[in-house]
Structure 1
Amino acid sequence: MSSLNNILYFQSGLRVLANMFLLFFYTVIILCHRPKLLDLISCQLTFIHIVMILTGGDIWLTHVFESLNFENGFKCKTTFYISRVMRGLSICITCLLTVFQAVTISPSISLLAKFKHKRKTYVIYAFFYLWSFNLSFSSRWIFYVGAFTNVSDSNQMKVTESCSIFPMNYITRALILTVTISRDVFLVGVMLTTSAYMVIILFRHQRQYKHLHSISHMRASPEKRATQTILLLVVFFVVIYWVDFIISCITVQLWKYDPVILSVQKFVTNTYPTITPLVQISSDNRIINILKQIQPLHNQIFKKA
């Protein structure tokens, strides 16, 4: 268990540094330059992952929350509610990212081409709808989560050291599970469909232009690079999501608090917000160029010292 905790510590530290760096970068781009719509979506996804870090029950944050002079029940409801909202937004914004990129690279003769000119309007509407839906849909947890008392007496399922989920009747649990699965399956389906569409477009583009352009020029295309990054993120997300879903189903069926299972689930859940900023940083030429400019300056300072 101690080795698993050490892994979680390392994962938490890496996740915080990568997401904070990326959020700072996107904030500078949005405030000081002319941002792309893709930057706005990516910035929001990064912000969501940072909030997930703050409310996800990480080991090193637990002591901080416990030091606040609030009632345990209030802290449990607040942090669990926000973490569920952010989890829902993570899958929704990732789906929006794939749809947006599919529209961006779609040829002028396709059905998606008519949405290109109003992408900004549609993205703003999507932001408003996705936030409203997840804030309202996750509000059920306010009533079913609270401070942990005694498992043997109340049949609560302990989800952290001090928080638990209260028992639900069969109809309520089945309804919540059905709506949640339907939402997630629909969004994952949209992601996979748009990803397959983008792969087809990239394949056709490569086949059509390989006689006119060099392979190195094709690889330098910003649209192609952004599309490949999003496809990679989708693959990571889908794999991690279904692993997390299987673990969640096992936990709910057993209705049992198991620290090892919850630690493994925490590691799986946090993998996507850890990988996402690393993939974005390594694939964004603007960040790579900044880091290249910083390196000689760092070497000069180090030599003078």
Structure 2
Amino acid sequence: MSSRDLVIGIVFLSQTIVGVLGNFSLLYHYVFLYFIGCKLRNTDLILKHLIVANSLVLFSRGVPLMMATLGWKQFPSDFGCKLLFYVHRVGRGVSIGSTCLLSIFQAITISPRNSRWAELKAKAPKYISLSMSLCWLLFMLVNIPIPMYVTSKWRNDTIKKIKNFGYCFAVSNNITVSLFAAWLSFPDALCLGLMLCASSSMLSILYRHKQRVRHIHRTNLSPRSSPEFRATKIILLLVSTFVSFYALSSICQVYITLLKNPSWLLMKLAPVFTVCFPTISPFVLMRRDSSVSRHLTTWVRKMKSLNLLISI
């Protein structure tokens, strides 16, 4: 094993371990709050789906790449390759869709009463579950052709392009590659556009809110923002993180598709950027969920009060 493969393997290993621990910690947080009877926010359902989607990306892309880079010789079968790529694409798509829906619903939540979003404030929470179900269904259907272009065996075919991903191979010809790329990119581009529009709306609302409370900041007081606006800032940080890594990953993927023999570094950087968002996002969201300690403290106090009443 070369030193460069070892370095990339360690990077994949670190991303996978940190990402899995982060996502499972956040999922445990929501399960814990559910069992102690705490009322969750409307957008927490979207976050649960985002955690599941991130975990699928880590297990279907991060783990195989880590094993292949570190010299693991037991490559998956043809069915295994098709399944891994399909699960990865669905998880990646749902991650995009969840982040998009999260930004849209948050923009609706913090919108003023006299805005065009006001009518949707009461109705939006009712459609969160349906929206997430449609999101899963959409990306499961869009990515159905993926298994047709993935194989576990090297094919010496001069007509078709062969891309080596380390543990599986992607096969495509010059005619279909552009159409297939456009087919896969359309829902991503749509979600990205909606995400940017919602983020722009949130930034505008935050700016107007800051202008209204400017006179408060001129005093000696140091008021804290409302929980809704603190959550909005974290969601904007999450969206900017996603857009940054998505852009870097997309640029690498475009070069890999267009180049006949892409470099080793380019082939490794693309999955590194792909796995970055599922790894980092749970820690960004943990800043949003500073209510963990507050809920835990409340639960402990209730248990102490109950034990005191029982003892009396």
Structure 2 residue 223 is the aligned partner of structure 1 residue 217:
yes
Structure 2 residue 14 is the aligned partner of structure 1 residue 26:
no
Match of 1:46 in 2: 51
The answer on whether the counterparts of 1:52 and 1:83 sit within 8 Å (CA) in structure 2 is yes
The answer on whether the counterparts of 1:11 and 1:274 sit within 8 Å (CA) in structure 2 is yes
The answer on whether the counterparts of 2:33 and 2:295 sit within 8 Å (CA) in structure 1 is no
Match of 1:122 in 2: 127
TM-score of the superposed pair, with normalisation by structure 1: 0.85
Return 5+ residue gaps in structure 2 as ranges.
Answer: 299-312
- SS of equivalent to 1:166: strand
Structure 2 residue 186 is the aligned partner of structure 1 residue 182:
yes
Mapped partners of 1:44, 1:14: distance in 2: 19
In the alignment of these two chains, the number of paired residues is 288
1:150-161 mapped onto 2 (5 Å cutoff): 150-151=155-156, 155-161=160-166
Mapped partners of 1:165, 1:79: distance in 2: 12
1:83-98 mapped onto 2 (5 Å cutoff): 83-98=88-103
RMSD: 2.7
Match of 2:85 in 1: 80
Structure 2 residue 272 is the aligned partner of structure 1 residue 267:
yes
Match of 2:177 in 1: 173
TM-score of the superposed pair, with normalisation by structure 2: 0.83
Q: 2:113 aligns with which of 108, 114, 134?
A: 108
**Partner amino acid, structure 1, of 2:181:** L
**Partner amino acid, structure 1, of 2:185:** I
| Residues 1:3 and 1:66: Cα distance change in structure 2 (over 3 Å) | closer
| Residues 1:198 and 1:27: Cα distance change in structure 2 (over 3 Å) | same
| Residues 1:66 and 1:78: Cα distance change in structure 2 (over 3 Å) | farther
- SS of equivalent to 1:56: helix
Match of 1:136 in 2: 141
Q: CA deviation at 1:152?
A: 5.8
The answer on whether the counterparts of 2:50 and 2:95 sit within 8 Å (CA) in structure 1 is yes
Match of 1:247 in 2: 252
The worse-fitting range, judged by mean Cα deviation, of 12-21 and 183-192 is 183-192
Return 5+ residue gaps in structure 1 as ranges.
Answer: 294-305
Higher helix share: 1
